[in-house]
Structure 1
């Protein structure tokens, strides 16, 4: 089979052709980019070229990982200003040599979620999910059910790993910022060691 290769078709050029597709679907698969290039540009490119083109298109459309990470505090400040009652709590590593604070955990809960939770059943479900991309980590989430049996997200946290320390910190923030006046709450979980430890040593 004769392949129609075009060495001048760089990842940067391809990225500009797939911008609209990336905007519609940031999770666009590399194999779909290969098909798009073949059908529309009549050229065969390598998987590596298509992968880099996808990465460049995402950066052009949404910004780089570094830029988005740097803007996280500003983004959360806007959440607080735009949503009355919203709470954001940070935990940092402090580098003793240069006194620089390094992001460790961040917790947030919308003001409306705090208000609504007091009208929901005293039951929460907590779980985690992996964060994909250059900066690895975990997203911790707490949800409940409203009076119509609909799932209601309550609180979120970004942490480095799912550990006893991170779960204890998350559950402390949840207790003090959301459920302080609820005397007894049922917690449903996957029984991760961090959650079991927290439930055994914290008043829920």
Structure 2
């Protein structure tokens, strides 16, 4: 455990460690020297270390993934007396998500398992996953069996396709395919995640979508 002064660059510091499995803590380093006046302390905000502070919101992130940084700022002031900036709160949330879900760079490793489970538990679904020759993720297509059946039996022959660039650490493009049911309400049919958006990606997406649609003649908008 390390405790430092709230004033940046101040040398005051305490370092302590637990003795074995006991509740006793032994101080190893105590540097009892400040290089500022008391007024600086009164005007400063307590130092918040994001790695440790993220532990406080782990349970909240698990139950409420949409917990927003602005709400984190307000809750920290009310509960702990710490004033966080929006950027600090955002980093706090990201560290908590990494503790719960793992690092984003490892998410793609779960895709083969996810595909296998979706096909095993949703018979009739269309799930496709592709990688480049050097093993990097390229395309991921999903159309659940219930969506395919609902489209064939109860939707109008009109399909709307849209795409949006994602802002996660590794970016990519999300494609969505939506149909319209008998009450003119939107009906989700399929989606695809791709590493980029080019002619080859569009062609791959439309080929997979054609398999889902089958022999039904449709209008794409």
Q: Hey, what does 1:150 align to over in structure 2?
A: 185
What is the CA deviation profile of residues 6-45 of structure 1, one whole-angstrom value per residue up to 9, with x for unaligned ones? 33x4112211212233234434333332222222111234
CA 1:185/1:30 → structure 2, altered by over 3 Å: closer, same or farther? same
Gaps of 5+ in 2: 1-38
What is the CA deviation profile of residues 43-101 of structure 1, one whole-angstrom value per residue up to 9, with x for unaligned ones? 23455443322111112233321232211221121111110111112232113xxxxx3
* 8 Å Cα contact 1:4-1:44 kept in structure 2: no
Equivalent in 81, 86, 107 of residue 141 of structure 2:
107
Equivalent in 168, 176, 199 of residue 141 of structure 1:
176
Inter-partner Cα distance in structure 2 for 1:76 and 1:66? 18
Q: Hey, what does 1:196 align to over in structure 2?
A: none
The structure with the larger Rg is 2
CA 1:127/1:48 → structure 2, altered by over 3 Å: closer, same or farther? closer
Equivalent in 179, 184, 195 of residue 160 of structure 1:
195
Inter-partner Cα distance in structure 2 for 1:90 and 1:61? 25
Inter-partner Cα distance in structure 2 for 1:88 and 1:74? 12
Q: Hey, what does 1:186 align to over in structure 2?
A: 219
- Higher relative CO (CA 8 A, sep ≥ 6), structure 1 or 2? 1
Inter-partner Cα distance in structure 2 for 1:107 and 1:57? 29
Gaps of 5+ in 1: 96-100, 189-204
Equivalent in 34, 37, 62 of residue 101 of structure 2:
62
* 8 Å Cα contact 1:14-1:50 kept in structure 2: no
What is the CA deviation profile of residues 95-136 of structure 1, one whole-angstrom value per residue up to 9, with x for unaligned ones? 3xxxxx322111111112222222222111100123232120
User: May I ask how many residue pairs the two structures share in their alignment?
Assistant: 180
